[in-house]
Amino acid sequence: MELEANPQLLWFIGIYAVIMIGLGIYMSKKVSNSTDFILAGKSLGPLVLMGTLLATWTGSGSISGGETSVAYSFGILPSLMLMIPTLIGIFTLYIAAPKIRAFGKYTISGILEEKYGPSARNLASIIVLLAYVGIVSYQMKGFGFILNLTTGMSVETGTIIAAVLIIFLAMIGGLKSVSQTDAISGFLMVGGLVITVPTIFADAGGWDSIVENVPDSHLTATGGLTNIQLIGYLLPSLFLLLGDQNMYQRLASSKGDASSRKAQIGWLLIMLIISPAISLIAFASRSLFPDIDPGMALMATTLAMPIAIGGVLLAAAAAFIITTGNSYLLSAATNMTYDIYGKYINKDASDQKQLRMTKVFIVILGVFAYLLISFFPTVLEVQMYAYTVYGAGITPAILAVFFWKRVNAIGGISSMIVGVVTTLVWEIILGKPFDLNSVVISVPAAVIVLIVVSLTTQKKTTNNS
């Protein structure tokens, strides 16, 4: 089947964008201080919190990378396996949520500083920026894919439009508005995916027809990947989710522990629907469109379905991409304000000054995100890089704060340095040897260093005393 742009689908994207912009402007009028802007005034109930957790996690990483690209490139079973790390991550955060709320910090860096000292805060801020700007960048490209499908405009032009929209929505009202647009987007996506799965399977001629039109390797457990390569696709999302500042900020923004628990249970249950649905749609897409960019697999199916269903799915995909983009952009800008500007440039800045600077940093980092995406050929590649920089550099150290009393400052900081340096060397300097994602090297290295350094430095302290 040939891909032909259908400009009529643009109406669905346009209606969604107008609603989101209108809601963002309305909610921005309720922002009076930094707590409103960054933590939504700690007022999120279970339904909105569930929606914002869902929408923040399931963005272009799933719609254009993750489950979509893996199902299209390697098959249905490897893609379905990507759900497992997410479920493990949600369950772990469920256990840690009360401790996260008790810290009451705006950023991951603030939590790390309390345990490991100022050096950890500075290093964490750099890691967050390295990772989150990358995550924002592929949200922009994912939306560029959507505009390419609907209008025929170049992906590059669509990416510029996405950059403007993501930056504006993040800047206008912070988490106060982002959480509301997230919730609407999350429930729109659930509906769009549930309707799409049976529709696209019918259009593709059913399961037997799909199986006949995909490579034989797409029906195996690893999809032609070696076991270690498959692990390289599974681990990044787990270690990002376990230490994701966005999730910590959202858990801290809930009304209380009861709201947080209900929201996380709902989030887990909906992921059991969303993740397999994305995998199945992208797998069917491989049968219908065998020669497209893997990142377009899910969105391309909108052209093969009745316009009403295709339009809802496309609007839902756009919703997830935009909400994830502005969430990570807001989170990175928060780090710039509180961990760099407030610590080293203007220690006496008023709350309103910090609020204004957060908005300035949203624009600056948004531009950097747009520039970064040109360095990576596919969404899946930049996704694996961004997830691993963060997962290896932050997650072992942050989990140790909550779950291992014997960790110390030297061990935590050493782990963070080793995780980031190993990732950058493997991905950029060595060029990803053996076609292995760096996570299989950098995460084990970071964990080993965390444990060994913490234990050995404790022994020295004991002996000296």
pLDDT digits (tens, 9 = 90+) for 379-430: 557 767 777 888 889 999 999 998 898 999 999 999 999 999 999 899 888 8
For the stretch 218-248, pLDDT in tens is 999 999 898 998 988 888 888 888 888 888 8
Which of the two residues, 187 and 378, has the higher pLDDT score? 187
Tokens of 215: 């490579």
Q: Across the strands, what pairs with 279?
A: none
Position 43 pLDDT exceeds 60: yes
- Cβ-based neighbour number of residue 321 at 10 Å: 32
Which of the two residues, 215 and 379, has the higher pLDDT score? 215
- What is the structure's pLDDT at 428? 81
What is the residue whose two structure tokens read 């950890």? 120
Task: Name the residue ranges covered by the structural domains of the chain.
Answer: 8-377
pTM assigned to the model = 0.79
Q: Is 254 helix (H, G, I), strand (E, B) or coil?
A: strand
For the stretch 254-297, pLDDT in tens is 787 788 899 999 999 999 999 999 999 999 999 999 988 888 88
Q: At the top level of CATH, which class does the domain 8-377 belong to?
A: mainly alpha
Position 349 pLDDT exceeds 90: no
In degrees and rounded to multiples of 5, residue 224 shows phi and psi of 90, -5
Cα distance between residue 171 and residue 175, in whole Å: 10
Which of the two residues, 175 and 150, has the higher pLDDT score? 150
- What is the structure's pLDDT at 461? 45
pLDDT band at 377 (very low <50, low <70, confident <90, very high): low
pLDDT band at 464 (very low <50, low <70, confident <90, very high): very low
Cα distance between residue 327 and residue 330, in whole Å: 5
